[in-house]
Amino acid sequence: GAGVSQSPSNKVTEKGKDVELRCDPISGHTALYWYRQSLGQGLEFLIYFQGNSAPDKSGLPSDRFSAERTGGSVSTLTIQRTQQEDSAVYLCASSSMGYTEAFFGQGTRLTVV
């Protein structure tokens, strides 16, 4: 596609449920990033993929969070047993190879009630 696509754009879930957030990067981009942005806050790094490998998972807040990337393309961020503090906008970005500019999707707004 022309840009980074994230789905769903909005997700409301009940506390304790699992959610999956999807990211379709720009075609051919090997680097993929997940960030989280809480209301009025900056960007919190979650995980970084180079191809299908994740050399840096240091930002995942807890073991309830996991992410995978298959075929060097689509990535899924999974949050298990969601908590209210997980409410945020989850942003995905991709770049051609790392060290270069990243292009961001519009984000998934997650609300845990």
Partner 1 sequence: AQSVTQLDSHVSVSEGTPVLLRCNYSSSYSPSLFWYVQHPNKGLQLLLKYTSAATLVKGINGFEAEFKKSETSFHLTKPSAHMSDAAEYFCVVSDKGSWGKLQFGAGTQVVVTP
Residue ranges that bind partner 1, judged by CB under 8 A = 31, 33, 35, 42-43, 45, 48, 50, 55-56, 91, 93, 95, 97-107
CB of 14 to partner 1, least distance (A): 25
* Residue 112 vs residues 50, 67, 82, 104: alpha-carbon distances, Å: 30, 19, 7, 23
* DSSP class of 88: E
- Of 39 and 113, which has the nearer Cβ to partner 1? 39
CB 94 within 8 A of CB 29: yes
Q: Which is nearer to partner 1, 50 or 76 (CB)?
A: 50
From the centroid of its chain, how far is CA 64?
14
Q: What are the structure tokens assigned to 105, written together?
A: 């999707």
State the minimum distance, in angstroms, from the CB of residue 32 to partner 1: 11
| Residues pairing with 22 in the sheet | 7, 76
Least Cβ distance, residue 55 to partner 1 (angstroms):
4
Between 14 and 101, CB nearer to partner 1? 101
